């Protein structure tokens, strides 16, 4: 009897990716400074990093990470409920809660882990989730894992969201509204006032992913959802503007206690290592002092959007440091990305299934360490490519 190769599905999947120009591969880089990397001997100006304030190379964070390693060791050695909760973990959570104007905070090991496991812990099969169509994959994974019923409303369309809330008259165990404050692929923002109003009027739990706002926007840079009454649960990350690693959730004390006892992704994983805690502590201390950097980042983002739009490019509804250059097809997007690469600029092509079919793009992510001259180089390179291809 002839048996089929048990891994033919892999060959089929990879072949399909090649044919649709969606095959991805890892490209190792060597960081040089905040906005420059080296790859295969070439120095590239990086417009694809989430290091929005340049803190990953900040000497204060590096020194704190080294100090915490010397004092506490390289690993936390256990999960939080066993013996992995050091005083430094708890102290950091208290400081985060205070900085965000919340009763409690809880550390997680990554934003993906937080979203995919917290939602599964909050929901059951009798729950209903209403989520924005553009939410991050980690949120979708958490919803799917829960087995809850879910509906996706049109992007930032609160009229459609309210219509779905009005129709949700069944005996659901609970209703969650799930969205992001700054959308990772489009750089636009949610209407927080409208979301809070709907959640309160329809008695829904409001869950916000604040990952790309934390450090950049809001009071003292602690995110758009910080200090906002009516928001039930906020997830933030440290791997972006904080320049470190890991994630956190802020919420009520009771909800925090529930997650400590009922959230598998928190219960069954080793705690964040001391070096990471040290770096986060240092970044948190710096945050209130970085308003000029945040203002400069906003100015640079506004300038780049204006110049790209003047060239005829669609930057969507972006209003943040994330600026998509919407090109539509995979072929065109890859062409621009490769051209920029030859000009010494790293600007990664974002293709389906990360974004919807027909919306392939270059996703530009700015840092406060990008200079006006860096933006000039980027715009000039895009302008040349545009002239060559039109």
Q: Which residue, among 320, 131, 286, has the nearest Cα to 216 in the 3D structure? A: 320
pLDDT of res. 191: 98
- Taking only the tens place, the pLDDT of each residue in 362-379 is 999 999 999 999 999 999
**pLDDT at site 286:** 98
Q: Does 2 score more than 60 pLDDT?
A: no
Residue 169 has pLDDT above 90, yes or no: no
Q: What is the pLDDT of residues 255-290, one digit of tens each?
A: 999 999 999 999 999 999 999 999 999 999 999 999
Give me the mean pLDDT over the 184-200 stretch: 98
The span from the CA of 337 to the CA of 350, in Å, is: 10
pLDDT of residue 263: 98
List every span in the chain annotated with CATH 3.40.640.10: 58-288
What is the spatial distance between Cα 53 and Cα 327, in angstroms, rounded to a whole number? 28
Residues of the chain with CATH 3.90.1150.10: 25-53+290-388
Give the CATH fold of the 58-288 domain: 3.40.640
Residue-averaged pLDDT of the chain: 96
State the DSSP H helix or E strand holding residue 360, giving kind and residue range, or none if neither.
Answer: strand 360-365
Which residues make Cβ contacts (< 8 Å) with residue 275, sequence separation at least 6? 65, 66, 68, 69, 74
Give the separation between CA 275 and CA 63, rounded to whole angstroms. Answer: 10
- List, in order, residues 6 or more apart from 125 with CB less than 8 Å away: 146, 147, 148, 149
DSSP E strands, 160-284? 175-180, 205-209, 233-237, 247-251
Distance CA 285, CA 314 (A): 38
Element (H, E) at 262: helix 253-262
Is the pLDDT assigned to residue 22 strictly greater than 90? Answer: no
CATH label, 25-53+290-388, candidates 3.90.550.10, 3.90.245.10, 3.40.50.2300, 3.90.1150.10: 3.90.1150.10
Helix pair angle (87-100, 274-286), 10° resolution: 30
Catalytic residues: 50, 136, 180, 184, 209, 212, 240
pLDDT digits (tens, 9 = 90+) for 83-100: 999 999 999 999 999 999
pLDDT of 5 reads 85
225 touches 206 (CB < 8 A): no
Whether 4 shows a pLDDT value over 80: the answer reads: no
Q: pLDDT tens digits, residue range 325-357? A: 999 999 999 999 999 999 999 999 999 988 999
| Length of the chain, in residues | 390
Q: At how many degrees (to 10) do helices 111-122 and 253-262 cross?
A: 90
Per the structure block, which two tokens stand in for 218?
């809001």
């Amino acid at each position: 009897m002839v048996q089929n190769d048990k891994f033919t599905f892999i060959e089929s999947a990879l072949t399909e990716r090649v044919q649709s120009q969606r095959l991805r591969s890892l490209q190792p880089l060597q960081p040089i400074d905040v906005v420059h990397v080296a790859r295969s001997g070439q120095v590239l100006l990086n417009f694809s990093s989430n290091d929005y304030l340049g803190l990953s190379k900040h000497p204060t964070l590096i020194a704190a990470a080294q100090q915490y390693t010397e004092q506490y060791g390289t690993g936390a050695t256990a999960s939080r409920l066993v013996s992995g909760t050091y005083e430094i973990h708890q102290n950091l959570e208290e400081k985060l809660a205070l900085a965000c104007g919340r009763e409690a905070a809880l550390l997680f090991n990554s934003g993906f882990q937080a979203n995919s496991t917290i939602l599964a812990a909050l929901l059951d099969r009798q729950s209903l989730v209403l989520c924005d169509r553009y939410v991050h994959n980690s949120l979708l994974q958490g919803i799917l894992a829960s087995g809850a019923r879910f509906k996706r409303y049109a992007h930032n369309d609160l009229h459609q969201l309210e219509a779905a809330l009005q129709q949700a008259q069944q005996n659901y165990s609970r209703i969650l509204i799930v969205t992001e404050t700054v959308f990772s692929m489009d750089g636009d923002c949610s209407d927080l006032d409208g979301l809070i109003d709907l959640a309160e009027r329809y008695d829904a739990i409001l869950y916000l992913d604040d990952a790309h706002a934390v450090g950049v926007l809001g009071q003292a840079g602690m995110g758009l959802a910080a200090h906002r009454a009516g928001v039930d649960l906020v997830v933030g990350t440290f791997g972006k503007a904080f320049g470190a690693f890991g994630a956190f959730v802020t919420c009520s004390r009771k909800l925090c206690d529930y997650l400590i006892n009922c959230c598998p992704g928190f219960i069954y994983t080793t705690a964040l290592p001391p070096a990471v805690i040290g770096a986060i502590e240092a970044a948190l201390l710096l945050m209130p002092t970085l308003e000029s950097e945040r203002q400069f980042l906003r100015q640079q983002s506004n300038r780049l959007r204006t110049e790209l739009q003047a060239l005829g490019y669609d930057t969507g509804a972006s209003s943040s440091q994330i600026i998509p250059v919407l090109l539509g097809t995979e072929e065109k997007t890859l062409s621009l990305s490769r051209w920029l690469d030859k000009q010494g600029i790293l600007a990664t092509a974002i293709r389906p299934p990360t974004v919807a079919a027909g919306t392939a793009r270059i996703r530009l992510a700015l840092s406060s360490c990008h200079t006006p001259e860096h933006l000039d180089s980027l715009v000039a390179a895009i302008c040349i490519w545009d002239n060559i291809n039109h």
